[in-house]
Amino acid sequence: MPSDFYTILGVDEKADADAIKKAYRKLARELHPDRNPDDASAEDRFKEVQGAYETLSDPGKRKQYDRMRRFGGPSPGSGGFNTQGGGRYYQRPNGTYVRMDGSGGDPGGYGPGGFSGDPGLGDIFERFFGGRPGESAAPGSRSGAGSRPRGAADPKAYDRNRTVRISFERMLNGGKISFTLDGEKISIPFPKGVKDGHKVRVRGKGRSMPNGGAGNLYVTLRVEEDERFLREDLAIHTHLQVSVFDAMLGVSTEVGSPHGKRLKLTIPSGSQPGDKLRIRGHGVETDDKKGDLIVHLDIVVPDKLSDEQRALIEQARDAE
């Protein structure tokens, strides 16, 4: 079994969503390939961290993952075994073997059909059980619909995967990504507001199969972080430094938007550190929705005061 996802992120298994996100962002910044251009191990760790966060940040996937951690495989003497390829198999009472994530049920208490009804967890099953939900356990065996004749090639074995990174700005605007694969230019459009981890299937651009067909190419989009902005669903968060005097008295100012505009913002008098102001319609925009820009106020206290400033502040304090 690969390293535990909680261990990869360095969080407790009971950590809440905020703690998981905070740990991911810290590790992603440290291990990002742009910061470690000559360190292949850092890129491998970066991919591990991304994979762990992709699962633990999704409540549904995390629930399934936690269940798999508790029931990770057959115990000794239960009739199960592991193959060299990492697949876990279970021996039925009739002597046939089925993969634990197959359609014939499993010994770990998951119930008939295991997890085969959720194609979105395919990557997790591949990492943990060496195959995808619903695959047959042994060549030539028949475990229900979708089984293949003995010796037939599994089409999924000829799929290919490619990860493409786009900037935060390109995520907001949408567009097209292009790259070359085996001498052929591949172009894939993506919508504005696309989410990190969005996956696109390109049919027939995988590896060639013996029968003349080809598998599929799966392209995953990864959105680069922007130090000025943080996306949360359709909302975008940013910070604005405000002097303590402006916070006390109130002021009209401007703040930069993720779309490159300068937006007017009124800071009310008596604003406190950590207060949040909302500018509607300037967050992530999709084809049918618009999010908001959330401005977090960082109150800046001067470390030096002039004699006149000190006298005025002391006068204001004593007048209370």
More confident residue, 21 or 40: 21
Q: Measuring CA to CA, how many Å separate 51 from each of 56, 73, 146, 196, 264? A: 9, 21, 28, 12, 39
First to last CA, the chain: 65
The residue among 262, 298, 263 whose CA lies nearest residue 279 is 263
Tell me, what's the pLDDT at 171?
94
| Gap between the Cα atoms of 216 and 210, Å rounded | 15
Q: Which stretch of 82-96, 153-167, 201-215, 289-303 has the lowest confidence by average pLDDT?
A: 82-96
Q: Are strands 251-256 and 235-243 parallel, antiparallel or unpaired?
A: unpaired
pTM of the model: 0.51
Which pair of tokens denotes residue 58? 């999704």
Q: What percent of the chain has pLDDT over 70?
A: 72
3-state SS, the chain, equals CCCCHHHHHCCCCCCCHHHHHHHHHHHHHHHCCCCCCCCHHHHHHHHHHHHHHHHHCCHHHHHHHHHHHHCCCCCCCCCCEECCCCCEEEECCCCCEEECCCCCCCCCCCCCCCCCCCHHHHHHHHHHHCCCCCCCCCCCCCCCCCCCCCCCCCHHHHCEEEEEEECHHHHHHCEEEEEEECCEEEEEEECCCCCCCCEEEECCCCCECCCCCECCEEEEEEECCECCEEEECCEEEEEEEEEHHHHHHCEEEEEECCCCCEEEEEECCCCCCCCEEEECCCCCECCCCECCEEEEEEEECCCCCCHHHHHHHHHHHHCC
Which domains, from first to last, does the chain contain? 1-57 (1.10.287.110), 81-137 (no CATH), 158-223 (2.60.260.20), 230-318 (2.60.260.20)
| Gap between the Cα atoms of 237 and 254, Å rounded | 15
13-38 confidence digits (pLDDT tens): 999 999 999 999 999 888 887 787 77
Q: Is the pLDDT of residue 82 over 50?
A: no
Q: Which stretch of 75-79, 116-120, 131-135 has the lowest confidence by average pLDDT?
A: 75-79
For all residues of the chain together, what is the average pLDDT? 77
Please state the rounded mean pLDDT for residues 252-258: 93
Tell me, what's the pLDDT at 24?
93
Please state the rounded mean pLDDT for residues 171-196: 90
200-213 confidence digits (pLDDT tens): 999 988 888 888 88
Q: Is the pLDDT of residue 12 over 70?
A: yes
Residues 287, 291, 296, CA angle at the centre, nearest 5°?
Answer: 155
